[in-house]
Amino acid sequence: MIDHENKDFMNRFKLFDILNDIPIGASKILICENVSEAVSTIESVVHQNASPIAIDIWTTIPGVRGLIKNFFDILFRAVKINFIDDTFNKNMNESSIFSKLTETYPTLSKKWIDAFLQSYKHNQLPKGFPNEIMASHLGEMLQSQNLIVIIGIDTTKFKSENLLGIANAINWIAQRTKLRYTLLIPRLLAEQKDLESILYDAETFLLEQSIDRTQKKSITPTTINEKKHYLLPVIGKPHPFSQGEIILSQLINLDNDLSGFFLFNQIVTTVKNTHYMVDLLWPEGNLIIEVDGYRFHSSRYAFQFDRQKDYELIVSNFIVLRMTHQEIIEDPKSSLEKIRDVFNFIKKQQIGE
């Protein structure tokens, strides 16, 4: 009999090795039975290993111009979150930020940096620059992060010329940005000749499934739509694409009892010598709060991973409170009260000691 649980965990370690073995300036194709399942697995791997990745899920395959713009949008978000947002949050004026950027990235065009800062205010890419400049400059601002860009093609509808465009575009953007890219595609796309040029070293990534797809469709929530792009990890602050984390951050910061105690997106080490990224941490109380979005916690693998993670955290003397993305958005007051109840419970135990 096949031990599906062990097979899933072996596949997880294989996936981590595959991602880390991608050379700088290169791309890797992963063929998946289910792209959403693969994205869920990658998110779990990242949370354990704190590997910096940007994930974008495409439900349509655009033409060449749309492909390049999509890639630039991903990189722009990564630069914005990793550097620019933090810089602006430190209340530096624009002149000081410009000086800091030119000092940090001396090979970047000053004209481009100035345009970047202006476009940042409107959450847009700078305009009027050749694609070569855009790719090399955005890439240089991210190279020190050792970023891996993950693109999930979550559709089987396509035009032949658009598939050929993907094959050309992903190699072009990888070489120009000097970053690493992974393209997740369903098996049907892997059978298309237009992708032959990038399929020569493709690998198939499978996870065992215990719930068939018809069952999964019947339990899929429809009230909350989670965004289809992600940047992980974002250490020390709520994730900008997690509405649940942002709401909790605002509520906790305004709460007289809880403000100042919690840290967002922290790495903790367990007694098993594993490392996990947790959404909120109260270090003094060993309290961890996890905000579970449906997209990343609905698969069999994610369910199994979360339980293994909870087990290792509990035996490492952490208390874990799991909350759903949906409940926080629908009833933020009740969600805050749950946190307060556990917080006060731990406080009383500490006093009793």
Task: Convert the pLDDT of each residue in 307-324 to its tens digit.
Answer: 888 999 999 999 999 998
pLDDT tops 90 at residue 216: no
Quick: pLDDT tens for 105-156: 999 999 999 999 888 878 888 999 999 999 999 999 998 877 889 999 988 8
pTM of the model: 0.67
Mean per-residue pLDDT of the chain: 81
Quick: pLDDT tens for 23-42: 999 999 999 888 877 777 77
- Per-residue model confidence (pLDDT) at position 220: 33
pLDDT band at residue 222, thresholds of 50, 70 and 90?
very low
Task: Cite the residue boundaries of each domain of the chain with CATH code 3.40.50.
Answer: 4-208
Share of the chain above pLDDT 70, in %: 79
pLDDT band at residue 226, thresholds of 50, 70 and 90?
very low
- Per-residue model confidence (pLDDT) at position 91: 65
- Per-residue model confidence (pLDDT) at position 122: 82
pLDDT tops 50 at residue 217: no
Quick: pLDDT tens for 228-272: 555 555 678 887 667 888 899 999 999 999 999 999 988 888 998
Just give the CATH number of 4-208.
3.40.50
pLDDT band at residue 4, thresholds of 50, 70 and 90?
very low
Which of these CATH numbers, 3.30.420.40, 1.20.1050.10, 2.120.10.30, 3.40.960.10, describes 235-352?
3.40.960.10
Cα–Cα separations (whole angstroms), residue 115 to 34, 69, 110, 120, 128: 40, 17, 9, 8, 9
Task: Cite the residue boundaries of each domain of the chain with CATH code 3.40.960.10.
Answer: 235-352
For 85, the enclosing helix (H) or strand (E) is helix 85-89
Length of the chain: 353
CA nearest neighbour of 79 among 61, 105, 60: 105
Share of the chain above pLDDT 90, in %: 38
Q: What is the DSSP string of 149-215?
A: EEEEE--S---HHHHHHHHHHHHHHHHHHT-EEEEEEEHHHHT-GGGGGG-TT-EEE----SS-HHH
pLDDT tops 50 at residue 346: yes
Among 5-9, 84-88, 146-150, name the one with the lowest average pLDDT: 5-9
pLDDT band at residue 297, thresholds of 50, 70 and 90?
very low
CA nearest neighbour of 323 among 283, 285, 291: 291
pLDDT band at residue 213, thresholds of 50, 70 and 90?
very low
- Per-residue model confidence (pLDDT) at position 9: 45
Q: Name the amino acid, one letter, at 241.
A: F
- Per-residue model confidence (pLDDT) at position 286: 96
pLDDT tops 90 at residue 158: no
